[in-house]
Structures are given as C-alpha cells and as structure tokens.
C-alpha cells in the first residue's frame, strides 16, 4: 500500500551510502528535514562496500527499508585515465553486490544512482533515456560509466525476476558549495573556480585550461539534484532510467568565461589543446522526470555558481 506523501519518509529507515560525500551530505540533510525515521550513513572506515562481508554487516547494522546508493569512486578525466581498473572494479563490485544483498535482506526499495558518463560518446542531443544503449561511452570515463550502467541492467533484471523495487536516476554533472576543490580530482566547475581565485591572489595574468573549450556540458545545482533524487525515491517505481538535469547546455568556453567574470579574474584564458576534451556534447532531455514525478530544476547556473564561489572563498583557508 502506498504511503501518503506527508508521512512517506517518517516511515523509512534510510541507508545513504556515500552520505559523507559532497552529494550525499546534502541528501542526508534533506532527509533530516523531511523527518526520515532513521538515517544510516555507512563510513568507509567501518564498511568497505567492495567487501561482501562488510555489506552484509552494514545491512544488519543499519536495517534499512530504503537504500540510496551514492557511494562511488569518482573523478575528472585525469583520474579516470590514471586509474581505469579501479574506476571499473570498485564501482561495479560495490553496486552489484550491494543490490543483490539488499534484495536478499528484504530492503523495500533501492535507488541506484547512475551517471551521465553511461551515455554513448556520440548521443543525439539532448540525451534521451532510450539512447542509453546506442553506443560505447566516451573512452576516458567508459570503465566508470559502464560499471554504473550495470546497475541499470541489474535493477531491471531483479524487478523482472524478483519484483524488487530498484530505480535508476541518472544525474548530470553536479556542483555547488562543499564540492571537491582538489585540482587533481575535481570536476570542471570547482577546478575553474579555484584556478581563477588562486591566479588572482598570485597576480597571474593567465590561466591554462584543458582542451579547446568546444565541448558542451549541462550542470545541476546540488540542492536541485537532491530534490530530484528524493522525488524519485518517493514516487517513482519503475526500472526505466530517468535523467535528472537542468535541461540547459553550455560550452566549456562559455562556462570558463562566466566563472572568470564571477570570480573577478581579468587575465587571459589559454586553452591547452594537447589535453583531451572528453565527450563532445552533453545535455539531457529532462521530460521523463517532469512527467513521472514532477521534477524540474529551480536554480539558474549563474545563481548556483555565485553560491559555490562564495562558499569556496569563505572556506578555502580552512583545513
């Protein structure tokens, strides 16, 4: 029997893997606001989710009715190129074993959070969910994208054979306050923010950026992503993949110029074309999420970037 919307979360014991991470920390905060009965965040120090015994112990300790699986090994192009085996094995083993054990344990619902990297390299823009199997992903992040995509196959197979309620939302690139600003592993928005602010502080006249600026990307503000994810967790009960995005496409060049302007960096942007561009274009068709559970992003890119820059400037000296 479906719970009334008002008390859905009050009846849930929610396990958020990756709940200590960037996205996960916002998910946990929102679940607290929604009055979830219990929120269990397994820390990597206590539970290595690649290890089957640790997964089983986590299920016993947390006794969840609903799992939101956010834990992942993630990184930018550089990290994916340096550690493709890790990106494949760790993400695959965590997800596949966790979903299997969750089904065996009797968890009511499993939200397997996918990735935009699962889409084929040359997908017609905007990416529609039905295009997901039309080709091989962009090579630099294919091991990661395919490992996560196997959770979609698993969700569909387990629903078909066991009636297991697993869903597969696919968020686009996220950003916002508390993002990872480590230049070795960060994604494009925090990397640009940090580069510009440091260049300004050091009086540099130019900043070197990867690629040629022509690829396009779509970005979703982290708080919007949480809303989409939790709407899906509450209302969506099918194993067809669902895009979560803003529906707005921007070139890396335009993005770089916008962030330079917002950070007040007035120097030259130099494009290092010996470095890879990554996937040529990325933008999502976001109609399915709107139709099925009423999600649409509220935060404009400019507003979200301002919040992120302000947070970084206030926190960069800490730690």
Q: 15-35 pLDDT, tens per residue? A: 999 999 999 999 999 999 999
Cβ atoms within 10 Å of 35's Cβ, excluding its own = 13
Structure confidence by residue, pLDDT tens digits, 44-82: 999 999 999 999 999 999 999 999 999 999 877 788 889
Residue 2 has pLDDT above 50, yes or no: no
**pLDDT over 80 at 317, yes or no:** no
Q: Is residue 233 part of a domain?
A: yes
| 43 within a domain of the structure (yes/no) | yes
pLDDT recorded at residue 80 = 86
User: In this structure, are residues 73 and 90 in contact, taking their beta carbons and an 8 Å threshold?
Assistant: yes
For all residues of the chain together, what is the average pLDDT? Answer: 94
* pLDDT exceeds cutoff 80 at 319: no
- Residue percentage of the chain with pLDDT more than 70: 97
Percentage of residues in the chain having pLDDT higher than 90: 87
Note the pLDDT of residue 78: 80
Q: 65 to each of 12, 39, 68, 114, 237, how far by Cα in Å?
A: 6, 10, 10, 20, 15
Is residue 192 a contact partner of residue 184, using CB atoms and an 8 Å limit?
A: no
- The answer to the question of residue 270 being in a domain is no
Phi, psi (degrees; rounded to nearest 5) at 217: -140, 165
- Please give the pLDDT value at position 119: 95
Residue 99: inside a domain, yes or no? yes
Name beta bridge partners: 120: 137
Cβ(314)–Cβ(304) below 8 Å: no
Determine the average pLDDT of the residues in 153-176.
97
Q: What integer pLDDT is reported at residue 77 of this predicted model?
A: 76
Q: What is the pLDDT of residue 149?
A: 97
Weakest mean pLDDT among 77-81, 105-109, 258-262, 264-268? 77-81
Residue 224 has pLDDT above 70, yes or no: yes
DSSP string, the chain: -PPPGGGTGGG-EEEEETTTSHHHHHHHHHHHHTT-SEEE---TTT--TTSHHHHHHHHHHH--SEEEE-------HHHHHH-HHHHHHHHHHHHHHHHHHHHHHT-SEEEE---GGGSBTTPPSSBPGGGTTSSPBPGGGHHHHHHHHHHHHHHHHHHHHH--EEE-EEE-EEE-TT----TTT--HHHHHHHHHHHHHHTT-SEEEEES-S--EEEEEEHHHHHHHHHHHHHH----S-EEE--S-EEEHHHHHHHHHHHHT--SEEEEETTS---SS---B--HHHHHHH-------HHHHHHHHHHHHHHHTT--
**Among candidate residues 165, 188, 197, the one with its CA nearest the CA of residue 277:** 188
pLDDT of residue 276: 86
Q: What is the mean pLDDT of residues 99-108?
A: 98
Q: Which of 144, 196, 236, 312 is catalytic?
A: 144
144 catalytically annotated: yes
Q: Is the pLDDT of residue 3 over 80?
A: no
Cα radius of gyration rounded to whole Å, the chain: 19
Residue 288 to residue 269: CA distance in whole angstroms = 38
**pLDDT score at 4:** 40
| Integer Cα distance of 216 and 291 in angstroms | 25
118: nearest Cα among 98, 138, 99, 93: 138
Domain contains 97 = yes
Question: Is-contact 38 92, C-beta < 8 A?
Answer: no
pLDDT classification of 284: cutoffs 50, 70, 90: very high
Please tell me the total count of domains within the chain: 1
Q: What is the band of 186 on the pLDDT scale with cuts at 50, 70, 90? A: confident
- The pLDDT of 276-305, averaged and rounded, is 94
Indicate the pTM of the whole model: 0.93
Q: What is the pLDDT of residue 178?
A: 96
The string of pLDDT tens digits covering residues 200-211 is: 999 999 999 999
- Contact between 31 and 14 (Cβ < 8 Å): yes
For position 158, which CATH number holds? 3.40.50.720
User: Using CA atoms, how far apart are residues 250 and 257, in angstroms rounded to an integer?
Assistant: 11
pLDDT at res. 318 = 62
Domain that holds residue 49: 9-176+218-248+282-299
């Amino acid at each position: 029997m479906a719970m009334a919307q008002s008390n859905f979360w009050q009846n849930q014991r929610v396990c958020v893997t990756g709940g200590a991470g960037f996205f996960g920390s916002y998910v946990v905060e929102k679940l607290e606001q929604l009055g979830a009965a219990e929120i269990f965040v397994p820390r990597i120090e206590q539970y290595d989710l690649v290890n089957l015994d640790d997964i089983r112990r986590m299920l016993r300790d947390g006794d969840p009715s609903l799992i939101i699986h956010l834990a992942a090994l993630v990184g930018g192009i550089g990290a994916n190129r340096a550690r493709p085996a890790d990106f494949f094995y760790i993400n695959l083993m965590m997800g596949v074993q966790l979903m299997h054990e969750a089904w065996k344990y009797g968890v009511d619902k499993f939200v397997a959070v996918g990735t935009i990297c699962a889409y084929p390299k040359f997908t017609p823009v905007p990416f529609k969910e039905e295009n997901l199997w039309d080709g091989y992903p962009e090579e630099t992040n294919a091991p990661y994208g395919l490992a996560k995509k196997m959770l979609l196959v698993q969700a569909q197979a387990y629903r078909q054979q066991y009636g297991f309620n697993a869903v597969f939302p696919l968020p686009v690139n996220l950003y916002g306050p508390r993002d990872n600003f480590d230049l070795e592993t960060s994604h494009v928005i925090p990397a640009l923010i940090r580069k510009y602010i440091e260049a300004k502080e050091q009086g540099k006249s130019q900043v070197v950026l990867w690629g040629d600026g022509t690829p396009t990307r779509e970005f979703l503000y982290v708080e919007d992503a949480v809303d989409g994810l939790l709407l899906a967790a509450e209302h969506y009960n099918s194993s067809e993949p669902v895009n979560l995005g803003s529906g707005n496409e921007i070139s890396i060049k335009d993005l770089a110029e916008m962030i330079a302007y917002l950070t007040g960096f007035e120097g030259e942007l130099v494009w290092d074309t010996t470095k890879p561009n990554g996937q040529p274009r990325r933008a999502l068709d976001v109609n399915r999420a709107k139709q099925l559970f009423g999600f649409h992003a509220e935060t404009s890119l400019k507003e979200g970037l301002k919040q992120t820059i302000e947070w970084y400037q206030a926190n960069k000296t800490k730690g």
